[in-house]
């Protein structure tokens, strides 16, 4: 049974490994090596701890194993990663629903995110629409998407 819970500092190493693995295995299919390296370096365990101090970083966990991550930073969802072995099992949707509900409780009416090329279809299924493309030096081409809550 998948449980959604808050990130704790004890989760940092395992969460970082999961994200870095997803970046190497999934993002490398659609992004150049320099973008993959930037993302890999960005998601260190120390940086996740710092993120969690400022934002709501949540995890999808099954029997103590971290299967996914997601973060709410003001009105933006970020850091959505699912273990590649667990794609298409509802984990990403559960993480998104949890953060959308949290945003609603805070009075946020529209949620935004920057979608990677290979994640656009997933977000569209959840009701997000793409508003524009943007090229970011560290992230490469992303699609700014939004959804009214």
How high is the pLDDT of residue 134? 84
The yes/no answer on whether domain 3-148 falls in CATH 3.40.630.30 is yes
Phi, psi of 100 (to 5 degrees): -65, -40
Each residue of 51-104: pLDDT tens digit? 999 999 999 999 999 999 999 999 999 999 999 999 999 999 999 999 999 999
Write the Ramachandran bin of 18: left for phi over 0, alpha for psi from -120 to 50, otherwise beta: alpha
How high is the pLDDT of residue 2? 93
**Average pLDDT of span 115-133:** 91
Phi, psi of 66 (to 5 degrees): -80, 125
**Average pLDDT of span 13-33:** 93
First to last CA, the chain: 27
How high is the pLDDT of residue 142? 84
**Average pLDDT of span 115-142:** 86
Q: What is the C-alpha to C-alpha distance for residues 101 and 78, in angstroms, rounded to an integer?
A: 15
**Average pLDDT of span 130-134:** 83
Mean model confidence pLDDT for the chain: 94
**Average pLDDT of span 17-38:** 91
How high is the pLDDT of residue 81? 97
Domain segments of the chain as ranges: 3-148
């Amino acid at each position: 049974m998948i449980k959604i819970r808050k990130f704790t500092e004890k989760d940092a190493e395992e969460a970082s490994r999961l994200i870095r693995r997803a970046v190497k295995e999934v993002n490398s299919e659609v992004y150049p090596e320099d973008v993959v390296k930037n993302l890999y370096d960005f998601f260190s365990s120390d940086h996740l701890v710092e993120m969690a101090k400022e934002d709501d970083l949540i995890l999808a966990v099954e029997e103590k194993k971290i299967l996914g991550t997601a973060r709410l930073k003001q009105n933006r969802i970020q850091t959505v990663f699912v273990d590649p072995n667990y794609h298409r099992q509802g984990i990403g949707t559960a993480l998104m629903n949890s953060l959308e509900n949290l945003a609603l409780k805070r009075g946020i009416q529209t949620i935004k995110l920057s979608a990677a090329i290979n994640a656009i279809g997933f977000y569209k299924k959840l009701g997000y629409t793409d508003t524009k493309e943007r090229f970011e030096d560290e992230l490469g081409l992303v699609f700014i998407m939004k959804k009214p809550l």
